Amino acid sequence: MNRPAALWLALGWGGFALLPWYGVEDGFWSLAWLFDYPAGADAAPALLQILLFGRWWLAPMVLPLAAPLLVLRRPRTDPLFSRVLLAAGAVGAVFFLGQGFLIGIGGWEYATLEGLFGPLGDRQFGMGYGALSVAAAFLFLFAQGLAARGAINGDGFVVGSIALVIALVAAFIFFPVVRILASAFQDNDYNFVPYLFVEKLFSHDIWGVGCLTANVNCGIAWNSLLMAILVAASTTVLGLAFALLATRTGFRAKRLLRLLSVLPIITPPFVIGLAIILLFGASGTVTQAIETITGTTPGRYIYGLPGIWLAQTLAFTPIAFLVLIGVVEGVSPSMEEASQTLRAGNWRTFTTVSLPLMRPGLANAFLVGFIESLADFGNPLVLGGNFDVLSTSIFFAIVGAQNDQGRAAVLAIILLAFTLTAFWAQHRWLGHKSYATVTGKGDAGLHVPLPRRVVWLAYGSALPWAGLTAVIYCMIMFGGFVELWGRDHSLTLRHYMDAFSITTGTGGLVWSGAAWNSFWTTIYISLISAPLTAAVGLLTAYLLIRQKFAGQQAFEFGTMLSFAIPGTVIGVGYILAFNVPPIELTGTGIILVICFIFRNMPVGVRAGIAAMTQIDKSLDEASLTLGASSFATVRKVVLPLLRPAVIAALVFSFVRAMTAISAVIFLVSANYDMATSYIIGRVENGDYGLSIAYSSVLIVVMVVVILLIQLVVGERRIGRREDMNVAFGAGGAVG
């Protein structure tokens, strides 16, 4: 008997005949549904749904579930075996999707079907674990069929993995994006109204240029673009200054620079904005100083463009630094020496040789800054004032008084178009070209000293900036110990008590602090999603690097796409896609976990690709020819050698889950509130003390967890170790 096929088939039948087909109230794992099982309409498996409740549209799936039973005993080389499995998988998937999407909450989705079958007298519900198992069974039966035909060297595990990743990406990246596109053409009652789309797309408040002539706000799109260009320019310049400082000068505290570059990774982006308010806000330290010196009240000057610019530059300069340090180091000394022997001085060498060689790297840093700025949500929300940008406008279109899904969708499309264009440009120009001049030949030369002017420029811009960053982080760490910033500077633990107090009540300890709820949810969700993200990411990297299959390029594009999709867009997409049956996930913790997995997956993919290209492929092949299945090969050979990448992926997905805000803020619910969205809420209420206290606790927790993960996963035995910073550098991502 064919073991894998039999197991998937068993899963399919289990899902069809045993598990509740629809999602059950209180969640599956509460097991409350057992009281109602199996004959209750909520908890009944598909088989009983058909027999007892007349849900005949589930019945056709019996056929593709039954057919493979007939061929299970045949050898897998038998053409009939593969043909039946392929057919069962494909037909099953069609029936499955059919019953899911042709029936909506109001019965038949399409009038023609109503005419054909008569009114349904029933509606769609969110699908549950039964449905999930059956879907998985169809998917993997199909994959087994393909493998039996010899696809991907007849490897069931690999074909199954490819199918799984494709299905997941389709469901959780493409489907939401498509829903956005669709709802851009719909009004709030899901009617198809194309002219609304045109109207919204060209609306004055998006594209208006009134600010050029009169004293009104320009369109949101222009605001976003202007902001992105300013931020990209400033982060690139500062990043270059830091990179030159770190590699080309005798600057002493280089390690400190490295540390500085890791900080933003463990800092929720809006926390910088928060610290800026404490410095420059209406009652900020600097503002008050200006007041006492000049005697005038500067007011809310920081809100709007200046504040966001400052905050984003502070937040994203380290990313530019990480991009550029490799570029600066990559410029081959021999080129510069060649230039010098041709009688060019330091200044000429720098401007005519070094800088042009860095140009592609600079362009890359610029684009990264551009994308980051466009996608950033937290800082504009905290500091925006009247200066509206796309990411925040999307949010307010959905949650605000407007509640206009169509508008949110249109804004999301514009934002997505911007970031995808930048992403595309980045790949087009720089994607696969190696712009470093490291030749593989031992380059023994010495870098030519930088011209004095450049050295002073680098020091002059980098050091004050480093100072500002240090001040900002001091604010974050100690701002929480001050009674009321700007008014009453007496030291207090009040904010920490408010957030994290524990009292002893009747039933033992009571977590009475206001932050505990969101804190534990955040830890819990992040801890669940980190290993899943790492698994999906590394699996994808394995498929990309170690396997060859048709459509690999498209596969790669699809899996990296979520990198280019701003969080707010994903948030809107998830709301639109998963708020209604058949996949009804809003309000659960699952949707948060899924969101994290697919937003952060590219990080795992990159870490995995970087590590796996360094491991000789013949190791895998040796394992295969020694009789190990590819699953065993991955477990025993690939994974142990990938330990640094595993750590990097785990740390990254954990940290990014803890610090994420843009998509999360759409998806949190009363039961599952996350720390970041809780803090943002407090910030909007002006409760800075508690916000900053909570933020500092988050940062400390992340540092501790990172160290713990390092300790648990341990080091690779053969001793070689990759530079963690390299892995971190790979993670420059969209907020």
Partner 1 sequence: MNIEGQAAAVRFDGVSKHYGAVVAVDRISFEVQAGDLVTLLGPSGCGKTTTLRLIAGLEMPTSGSVFIGGDDVSRLPASARDVSMVFQSYALFPHMTVFENVSYGLSVSGITKAEIRDRAEDGLKLVGLSGYGERLPSELSGGQQQRVAVARALVLEPTVLLFDEPLSNLDAKLRRQVREEIRELQQSLALTTVYVTHDQEEALAVSDRIIVMRNAEIAQEGAPTELYEAPRDLFVADFIGDANVLDAEMLSRDGGHATIRVGGGMELRLPHRELPVGPVKIAVRPEAVILETSKDESGFTGTVLKSTYVGSHVEYTLDTGLGEIFVADYRFDAPVPAGSRVRIAFRERGVTLLEKQT
In whole angstroms, give the CA distance from residue 555 to residue 112.
35
In whole angstroms, give the CA distance from residue 374 to residue 419.
7
Among 191, 296, 490, 625, binds partner 1 (CB under 8 A): 625
Q: Smallest distance from the beta carbon of 89 to partner 1, in angstroms? A: 18
The residue range among 149-157, 172-180, 203-211, 358-366 that interacts with partner 1, by the rule CB under 8 A, is 149-157
Q: Smallest distance from the beta carbon of 542 to partner 1, in angstroms? A: 16
Q: Smallest distance from the beta carbon of 628 to partner 1, in angstroms? A: 4
In whole angstroms, give the CA distance from residue 390 to residue 396.
10
Match 């990774």 to its residue by tokens: 265
The residue range among 17-25, 91-99, 649-657, 711-719 that interacts with partner 1, by the rule CB under 8 A, is 711-719
The residue range among 95-103, 269-277, 573-581, 619-627 that interacts with partner 1, by the rule CB under 8 A, is 619-627
Q: Smallest distance from the beta carbon of 449 to partner 1, in angstroms? A: 40
The angle formed by the CA atoms of residues 461, 463 and 468, to the nearest 5 degrees, is 100
The residue range among 94-102, 114-122, 146-154, 169-177 that interacts with partner 1, by the rule CB under 8 A, is 146-154
- Cβ–Cβ under 8 Å, residues 681 and 521: no
Which x/- pattern over 51-80 shows residues binding partner 1 (rule: CB under 8 A)? -------------------------xx---
Secondary structure letter of residue 186 according to DSSP: B
| Position 616 contacts partner 1 (CB under 8 A) | yes
Among 290, 632, 701, 713, binds partner 1 (CB under 8 A): 632
| Position 628 contacts partner 1 (CB under 8 A) | yes
Among 334, 421, 437, 629, binds partner 1 (CB under 8 A): 629
The angle formed by the CA atoms of residues 577, 578 and 584, to the nearest 5 degrees, is 145
Among 191, 434, 504, 618, binds partner 1 (CB under 8 A): 618
Pick the closer one to partner 1 by CB: 528 or 628: 628
Among 252, 434, 717, 723, binds partner 1 (CB under 8 A): 717
- Cβ–Cβ under 8 Å, residues 33 and 130: no
As a whole number of angstroms, the longest Cα–Cα distance in the chain is 92
- Cβ–Cβ under 8 Å, residues 650 and 612: no
In whole angstroms, give the CA distance from residue 276 to residue 587.
33
The angle formed by the CA atoms of residues 71, 75 and 76, to the nearest 5 degrees, is 90
| Position 619 contacts partner 1 (CB under 8 A) | yes
Among 401, 627, 711, 712, binds partner 1 (CB under 8 A): 627
Q: Smallest distance from the beta carbon of 546 to partner 1, in angstroms? A: 12
In whole angstroms, give the CA distance from residue 261 to residue 687.
29
| Position 155 contacts partner 1 (CB under 8 A) | yes
DSSP H or E stretch at residue 734: none
Pick the closer one to partner 1 by CB: 121 or 627: 627
Among 41, 51, 153, 190, binds partner 1 (CB under 8 A): 153
- Cβ–Cβ under 8 Å, residues 615 and 638: yes
- Cβ–Cβ under 8 Å, residues 74 and 80: yes
Question: 354 CB contacts (<8 Å, ≥6 apart)?
Answer: 331, 335, 336, 448
- Cβ–Cβ under 8 Å, residues 687 and 294: no
| Position 622 contacts partner 1 (CB under 8 A) | yes
The residue range among 179-187, 201-209, 247-255, 632-640 that interacts with partner 1, by the rule CB under 8 A, is 632-640
Q: What is the dihedral of CA 245, 246, 248, 251, to 10 degrees?
A: 70
Secondary structure letter of residue 190 according to DSSP: S
| Position 714 contacts partner 1 (CB under 8 A) | no
In whole angstroms, give the CA distance from residue 356 to residue 10.
62
Pick the closer one to partner 1 by CB: 85 or 680: 85
- Cβ–Cβ under 8 Å, residues 360 and 190: no
Q: Smallest distance from the beta carbon of 627 to partner 1, in angstroms? A: 5
In whole angstroms, give the CA distance from residue 129 to residue 458.
58
Q: Smallest distance from the beta carbon of 633 to partner 1, in angstroms? A: 8
The residue range among 141-149, 186-194, 495-503, 580-588 that interacts with partner 1, by the rule CB under 8 A, is 141-149
Pick the closer one to partner 1 by CB: 2 or 223: 2
Q: Is 332 helix (H, G, I), strand (E, B) or coil?
A: coil
| Position 670 contacts partner 1 (CB under 8 A) | no
| Position 634 contacts partner 1 (CB under 8 A) | no
Among 149, 258, 427, 447, binds partner 1 (CB under 8 A): 149
Pick the closer one to partner 1 by CB: 148 or 177: 148
- Angstrom distances, CA of residue 727 to CA of 179, 267, 607: 34, 17, 6
Pick the closer one to partner 1 by CB: 144 or 676: 144
In whole angstroms, give the CA distance from residue 658 to residue 660.
6
Q: Smallest distance from the beta carbon of 629 to partner 1, in angstroms? A: 5
- Angstrom distances, CA of residue 677 to CA of 162, 659, 664: 35, 10, 7
Pick the closer one to partner 1 by CB: 79 or 115: 79
Question: Radius of gyration over alpha carbons of the chain, in Å?
Answer: 28
| Position 624 contacts partner 1 (CB under 8 A) | yes
Secondary structure letter of residue 532 according to DSSP: H
Among 127, 148, 413, 450, binds partner 1 (CB under 8 A): 148
Pick the closer one to partner 1 by CB: 621 or 684: 621
| Position 554 contacts partner 1 (CB under 8 A) | no
Which positions lie near partner 1, rule CB under 8 A? 76-77, 147-150, 153-156, 616, 618-619, 621-630, 632, 636-637, 640-641, 716-718
